[in-house]
A and B are shown apart, each in its own frame.
Chain A
Amino acid sequence: MTHWLSAHALDIALSLSIATALLRALSRVLAPYPRARAVVEAIAALSPDVVRAVMQLASLRSPAVVPPSVGPLAPPPDQGGFVEGGAMLGVCVLALAASLACSGCPVVREIAMRAAPGVPDPVGCVAGVQRCADGVPVVCSATGREWAALPRSASGEQRTCAPGVCVVSDGVAHCGAL
């Protein structure tokens, strides 16, 4: 397949150029419709990735070609620490993917919970036990965190039982009327 791609490189490039020009023209036509235009531009942005993926797959099926040695590359003298934006983003995406893959790992979950504002800190309570804390019914989780049984208001403040009171009945904490 690599041979075919090499032999038809000019045709492929010409086809892609025509397709790109058509998509750009279509994008201009759709200028008054920003969402439809975004779809077209997303397709245009996708095409180089598709071609690159096809080339990479093809190269996997072909014998490896060893390039001539050119010696170690020296870093650009005045750009110490330069990192290509795409590479950095790739690292971030890989890190996120790794985190999601490890979402079953207790350590990863614990780190994520401790880093998140709004997730209660562990207080060493007994799982399943309910009580009232500052006028809010709370329920203890398996990791020893006391989760509020009332939601936050839209502004982010914890709702409370006020003007009622928080009480515990048969082991269940809840709001009651005054």
Chain B
Amino acid sequence: MIPLDVALRVARKRVAAAGAELILPDDLRRVVVVGLVAAAHALQGTTVLSGDVRERVTVTLPGIPGAASTLLGMIPIVGPALAAFGLANGRTAVYLSPAAMRDGVELLATVEHELGHVGSIARGGLAYCGAYLLAPEVRAGGEAPCYGAGMAVRVAGGEALADVVRDALASLEGYGLDAAAKALATGIIASAALTIRATGDFGGIVAELRAEGVAL
């Protein structure tokens, strides 16, 4: 069992080291983000309900830099609010859900998942985010390895591999994937499961957490 305060300290440190910001569930900025994410799910016709978004969905959003920030503030109605709520501070931010704070393992699994997205945004910027919104394949190829990261932390924390695989596949149903994208995501999760079973890690994530003093 990892104490929540220990997990939160490590999570803050790792997110800060990535140049990103960790937003806790009770932060007012998350209220704005919940609205945006719920609207995006509604537009994409996914099965995710706004209540689920509020309680369960942790999300990583890119910071909006420079001139784009000015444009964001000019958007009628919501622009000033978006800018004022800090979405335009130029830093990628991880908005934690209440469910992510359930216990230490859950928090670290969630944050390691999101750090994968932080890395994708660092590599691909806003163009990657646009492709993520438009193409189910990018959502599948971007999400499934991140779910693998969370799976590795949960298994290291004592959960059964079969359970975390089942949970990951169920969660991936909420991303509006078509059949081809689901096949891609399923293939990546199968690879992740074998990697975790063979190495007890997933590309060094568990080792990095242990190096931070986390008892996994």
Binding site for B on A (CB under 8 A): 34-35, 37-39, 41-42, 45-46, 49, 85-86, 89, 92-93, 99-100, 103, 108-109, 112-113, 115-120, 127-128, 130, 137, 139, 141-143, 145, 147-157, 159-162, 164, 169, 172-177
Contact = CB atoms under 8 A, between A and B. Distances in A.
Contacts of B133: 100, 103
A100 B190 CA distance: 31
- Range of interface residues on B (Cβ < 8 Å): 35 or more
B187 interface: yes
A117 B128 contact: yes
Interface SS of chain A: helix, strand, loop or mixed?
Answer: mixed
A55 B14 CA distance: 52
Nearest to B114: A154
A39 B76 CA distance: 14
A41 B84 CA distance: 10
Given A41-B84, A109-B135, A147-B184, A172 B191 contact: yes
B195 A147 contact: no
Interface string B117-136: 01110111101101101110
B211 interface: no
Given A139-B191, A141-B180, A152-B120, A113 B145 contact: no
Interface of B: 14-15, 17-18, 20, 28-29, 43-44, 71, 74-81, 84-85, 115-116, 118-120, 122-125, 127-128, 130-131, 133-135, 137-138, 140-141, 144-146, 148-149, 180-181, 183-184, 187-188, 190-192, 194-195, 198-199, 201-205
Contact of A103 (B18, B76, B134): B134
B124 A174 contact: no
Contact of A154 (B20, B71, B148): B20
A115 B127 contact: yes
20 contacts: A38-B85, A42-B81, A45-B80, A89-B75, A115-B127, A115-B130, A119-B128, A130-B187, A139-B187, A142-B181, A143-B137, A145-B141, A149-B145, A149-B188, A149-B192, A151-B120, A151-B149, A161-B203, A169-B194, A175-B203
